[in-house]
Structure 1
C-alpha cells in the first residue's frame, strides 16, 4: 500500500446543533471519516450534498480548511443542509431530532470514477445507499458503518462486500458483541470492528480476534469518537499496520476526540430552521436510532 492511502467517503453529513450552546459543528459519519483520514496522514475525499445556506457553506469551508478533497461536494441552491439537534440532560447528550435536508443522494458516474481511483470507499447506514454498495465494492475496498443495525439478513448482504465492517455495540453484552463480530466475519467481511464505548473494542480478521480496552480520558463530548475509531482503523489496515497496533492507536485517537465539542471542531453560530426537525425513529426506524 502506498504511504498515503486515499479514501473516498460518500454520503451523510449534518451540522450537529448543540442547543444549549446555540452553536453548530460539521458532522455525520461519512463527513467525519473523510476528515479524520486526512488528519491521520491519508488523502481524504468527501462526496455528498449540502444546501447553499450558512450551514452548508460552513461544512464546505471546514472541509477545505482540513485539506479534504471536496471536488465531489454538491452545493445545491434548492433545499437545506441536514442537521441534528442535540440537547443536554443532566450532563448527558440527548438527540432531539433531525432533518436530512438534501444530504441523501445517489452516486453519479463521476462519483464512481472517483471511487475507482481510491484505495477505499467508506459509507454507512446513515447514507441510505445499500442499493449502490455492489458498485462501490467492485471499484475500491468497501468500509461500511452498520452503526446499530442488527437485522441479520441485511448484515449478511452487506458484510459479504466489506473490506471493513464496523458496528456500534455499546448496547450489547460482551457475548452478544462477539456473536455479532463472528456473524459478520462468517458472512464474508474481511475485517470486522465492534466498538463498545467504555468497554473498548474488538477487531476480527481471519482466525484472529483482538480486544482493545478503552483509553481513559476527561471526556467533554463523545460525539465523533466512534467515527474517529473507524477512520483510524481503516487507515491503519490500509497502511498494513499490525491489528493490535491499529486498535491501540485508534483508541487513543477516539479518546482525544472526546476532549472537545463536535466531531472535529469548527464551531459556528446556530443557523438552521429547527422547526423542520423530525423524531429520529422516523428517520432511522425503531430500534436503529443514532442514540444507541
Structure 2
C-alpha cells in the first residue's frame, strides 16, 4: 500500500454530555476514528446517521469544520445519540445513554451509490456501538478491508458472528492476565484476520498475528485530563502506523500508546465542547 490512506469511520457520531459541566463533546467510535486519522495525516470520511436536534446539528458543524468527508451521511428527524458522563479522579464514568438515538431507530441502509463510495476507501472502521453490524456482510462481500472495535462489552456470540469478517479486531480486556489475553486472542483468531489486539488500560497491550504475540507497555501519563477515547486513539494510531507508515506491529503499538497519551490531555474525545 502506498504511503497515506483514505479511511472511513462507519457508524456512530454521538455527543458525550458531561453532566457536572453542562458541556457536550463530540464523540462516538466511528467519528473519533475519522477525526484521529485526519489528525494523523490521512484522508478521512464519516458515514452514519445524525439527529435533527441541537446535538446532531453541532456534530455536523464539527465534522465540516474538521474537513471530514460526510457526503453520504444521513440526518434523520429525532434525537442524536448521546451518553451522559461524569469525571471522577480524572477518569470518565458513564451514567447512561439514549442507546444510539436516531441511529438505532433508523438503521443505516446502503445504496448502490454508497457501495461505490465505500469502495473508494482503503479501510473501513466499525465499532460495537455503531448500529451498523447488520452491514458487515455487505461490506465483507465488497472485499473491503475492515477493522472492528469489540470494546469491553462484547459477547462470545458477537465475536463468533463477526470475527471472520474483519481484518483487524480490537478488544478492551482490562484486568485480564497476560496468559488469559493470549489464550483469548489465539482462540478467536481466524484465517481472515491479520492482527487481533487487546488493550488493558495502563497495562501492556498484546497483539497476535496468527503466529506470534507482541507486547508493549502503555505510555505513562502522570495527570490525564480525560481518558475518554483513549482506546479509539490507540486503535487509529496503530492502524495508521501499521498500514500507512508500513512499520512493524511493535513499533505501531508504541506509536499508538504515544498518541493515546496525547489524547488523554484533552477534554472529551478530542475537545470542541459546547454548553447544552
Asked whether the two chains share a fold, i.e. TM above 0.5, the reply is yes
- Determine which of 170, 177, 185 is the counterpart of 2:174: 170
Q: CA offsets per residue over residues 91-132 of structure 1, 9 Å max, x none?
A: 542211101211232232132221111111111210233332
TM-score w.r.t. the length of structure 1 is 0.87
- Determine which of 113, 136, 139 is the counterpart of 2:139: 136
Which residue in 1 is equivalent to 2:240? 235
- Counterpart of 1:147 in 2: which secondary structure? coil
Q: How does 1:13-92 map to 2 (within 5 A)?
A: 13-76=13-76, 78-89=77-88, 91-92=90-91
Q: Give the paired residue count.
A: 269
> Post-superposition shift, 1:187?
6.3
Q: Separation in 1 of the partners of 2:73 and 2:275?
A: 22
- Counterpart of 1:70 in 2: which secondary structure? coil
> Post-superposition shift, 1:176?
1.8
- Determine which of 249, 252, 266 is the counterpart of 2:272: 266
- Between stretches 160-169 and 52-61, larger displacement belongs to 52-61
Which residue in 1 is equivalent to 2:109? 107
> Post-superposition shift, 1:53?
2.1
- Counterpart of 1:155 in 2: which secondary structure? helix
2:216 paired with 1:212:
yes
> Post-superposition shift, 1:263?
0.6
Which residue in 2 is equivalent to 1:116? 119
Say if 1:166 and 1:192, in contact at 8 Å, map to a contact too. yes
- Counterpart of 1:220 in 2: which secondary structure? coil
Say if 1:160 and 1:189, in contact at 8 Å, map to a contact too. yes
Q: Separation in 2 of the partners of 1:117 and 1:142?
A: 13
TM-score w.r.t. the length of structure 2 is 0.92
Structure 2's unaligned 5+ residue stretches are none
- Determine which of 246, 257, 260 is the counterpart of 2:263: 257
Q: Separation in 1 of the partners of 2:132 and 2:255?
A: 30
Q: Separation in 2 of the partners of 1:222 and 1:28?
A: 14
Say if 1:156 and 1:187, in contact at 8 Å, map to a contact too. no
CA separation of 1:262 and 1:209: change in aligned 2, threshold 3 A: same
> Post-superposition shift, 1:90?
5.3
2:101 paired with 1:98:
no
Q: CA offsets per residue over residues 2-32 of structure 1, 9 Å max, x none?
A: 2221111111121001111110000111110
Q: Separation in 1 of the partners of 2:37 and 2:59?
A: 17
> Post-superposition shift, 1:247?
0.5
Q: Separation in 2 of the partners of 1:233 and 1:47?
A: 21
Q: Separation in 1 of the partners of 2:213 and 2:74?
A: 40
Say if 1:12 and 1:30, in contact at 8 Å, map to a contact too. yes
RMSD: 1.7
- Determine which of 150, 155, 161 is the counterpart of 1:157: 161
Q: CA offsets per residue over residues 55-79 of structure 1, 9 Å max, x none?
A: 1121111122222111122122x11
